[in-house]
Structure 1
Amino acid sequence: MLDTTSTATLILLAAATTLLLTAMLYPSSFLRWLQRKRYQYEVTFSLYMLTPTEKFIFNSFLFLFLSMIIIAASLYLPEHLSLLARRAFYYWGGDDSSATGAKETPGFASPLSGRGRGFLDEPRI
């Protein structure tokens, strides 16, 4: 079973390989697509009216900001999602520990034991 780091690495390598293969097989259409995306980016953020130095500064800040967001999400999001999943499972299924504070009568199961739900049971002999 692959861990998340290996899976993410394989996905990134597959995407890079696909991009490289597309660039090699269809260079003119791929370059046109890249030029169109660059034009859309410059028009969306109004970069076409800036000087090259101002574009460089803006792109640097944008790159640093997005890099920090991606690093933070990749480091902390999986742990947070597992915490949310544990909480949801706790609210849905109850607590597995039988530390309810109720005294058990010999021969009878506690009505609060068993996944947090009450149940009726035959007495244990």
Structure 2
Amino acid sequence: MLDSTSTSTVLLLAAAATLLLSAMLYPSSLLKWLQRKRYQYEVTFSLYMLTPTEKFILNSILFLLLSLFIIAASLYLPEHIAFMANRMSYYFSGDAAHLTASVAGAKPEFATQAAEFLSNGEALRQGAVAAGREL
């Protein structure tokens, strides 16, 4: 099975291939759509008042920031979603194995700390039950 990075790469390449295919099949309509989007972009952000050099600098900075954001999202978001799903399943089911597996997937040294925490918590709960108080 593909990992999350490979999956997101395949999805981005599929989107690019779809765009290229539509450009080959309908070049005039795609060109008109792109020109309209460029016009909307320039009017929305008041770029039409800038000189070509200023437009180039601003667009370069925006392109760089957008590229970094897309790279970061495609690399770290799937792993974070899986981590949060493991946590949610722990909160709903209360199973200690989910938390240990979730933490062990992140960092190995946290797995032992999580196991100690869970065993201490279980000991405290049993002590409270023995004293007549339910947690």
Scaled by the length of structure 1, the TM-score of the pair is: 0.71
Letter in 2 for 1:22: S
Partner of 2:44: 44
Of 25-34 and 80-89, more deviation after overlay is shown by: 80-89
CA RMSD, aligned part only? 2.4
CA distance in 2, matches of 1:36, 1:76: 33
Could you say which structure has the greater relative contact order, defined with CA pairs below 8 angstroms and 6 or more residues apart?
A: 2
Partner of 1:33: 33
Partner of 2:107: none
Identity, in percent, stands at 71
Partner of 1:93: 93
- Aligned residue pairs, count: 105
Which sections of structure 1, spanning at least 5 residues, go unmatched?
104-125
User: Which entry has the higher C-alpha Rg, 1 or 2?
Assistant: 1
Letter in 2 for 1:16: A
As a proportion of its length, which structure holds more helix?
Answer: 2
CA offsets, 1:35-94, max 9 Å, x none? 111111111111011000000010011011112222222232223222222221111111
CA distance in 2, matches of 1:96, 1:51: 61
Scaled by the length of structure 2, the TM-score of the pair is: 0.66
